[in-house]
Amino acid sequence: MPDTQIQPSDVLLHGSVLVLLQYDVCEAIKLDRLQELIAARPMGHPTLKHPAPGYVRYQRSPVVVPLEPLVLESGERLAGEIKYYDYGVVSVVFQLAFADGWNKLIGLASRWVWDVDFAAQATELVRASLQRAAPALVKPYAEWLSEDYLIFHVREISGSPTVTELIQRSGSQIAQVVRGDTGQLAESECNEVLQSRISYYANDLAVIGWNAAFLFDTATGAETAIQLLEYANSQLLEFRHYDDLLTKELDRVYQLLDKGTGLLARWRLAKSATELHTVLLDVSELTEHADNAIKFLSDMFSARLYRLAAAKVGVPDYKDLVTRKVHTAEELYRFMVDQFNQSRAFMMELTVVIILVIELVYMFQGKLF
């Protein structure tokens, strides 16, 4: 009986590759003011693939502005747009249409993951866009943190396989795309990659990696996944910023404490404690703002997809780092306040003693003369 199994070289894929670049550029962005400054539109709510009473919505929808195309050295021309989030993150998305086989997609994934520095090429486009948006930026940063991520969105596959058939026939190729590796991966590595997959219907699939994701879905169906991947990466960027901010603040406090805990040093702790407490309040406010930027209302699938994406890109890890440093900073703040209060109490007691001594001196002088 002849072998009728479909070979990877016989499969034709139709879709697009998205390059996601994000920059933490300021403390906040006034979106209303931004729309007055530039021709922009608020991003609409994602269209869910399944009927449900709940939906995914942003508290403040990001503002979207078209970008001029990005032309790579290879000649590839990528259409782009820039999104402004109210919590100070700017997200750039470049997109290239794709129609070819698995080998071509794997080669493109390897080249774009490891060889192409998209951030370096896109930074100037972002700076030019921010010049027009400058009045809407709150406390711009001199240096930017950045994140990049690739999304391989396949809309159609020849033969219209179900998810089960796709995994059986092309699971190793999907793993290569997500890893950006042209070499044949070990079965254990393929299984590791494919464990991070999620589906709602029998013909849609999302495989999430730490630096790339593979989506097999219609354009409408993939919209939610793409937005949630974008949001997860923006949260990672925000928590990285908080981690750096707290690290610098804790270093400053430790250096101050190393100078000694004498009476005058303790007295100077008041100002430093106030500054530390202000940073803690800022971090708490900004963290809550980022956490609440998107709401999952009754849509359990989107919530599960977001948790998977956040876990793979490292959001919980950085959030834990920030939480631990916040606790350390709170303990330091209480210690500094206690030290200052002890110094103040000592000074008050010393003042009372001095006053009593002076009164006794005057009293004895009065008796003597």
Contact (Cβ atoms closer than 8 angstroms) between residue 265 and residue 340? no
Partnered with residue 90 across adjacent β-strands are: 23, 84
Q: Which residues of 126-135 are buried (b: 16+ CB within 10 A; e: fewer)?
A: beebbeebee
Q: Does the reported pTM lie above 0.75?
A: yes
Alpha carbon separation from 197 to 107, 178, 309 (Å, rounded): 22, 11, 10
Question: What pLDDT tens digit does each residue of the chain (369 aa) get?
Answer: 344 455 555 689 999 999 999 999 998 999 999 988 886 556 655 555 554 444 566 777 889 988 888 888 888 999 999 999 988 999 999 999 999 999 999 999 999 989 888 888 888 888 888 998 999 999 999 999 999 999 999 999 998 999 999 999 999 999 999 999 999 999 999 999 999 999 999 999 999 999 999 999 999 989 989 999 999 999 899 889 888 988 888 888 777 777 655 555 555 666 677 777 777 777 777 677 666 666 665 678 888 999 999 999 999 898 888 888 888 888 877 777 666 666 666 667 667 778 877 777 777 776 555
For residue 290, give every residue at least 6 positions away whose Cβ sits within 8 Å of its Cβ, in sequence order, or none: 87, 234, 235, 238, 239
Which pair of tokens denotes residue 15?
């879709």
User: What is the distance between the alpha carbons of residues 323 and 318, in angstroms, rounded to a whole number?
Assistant: 9
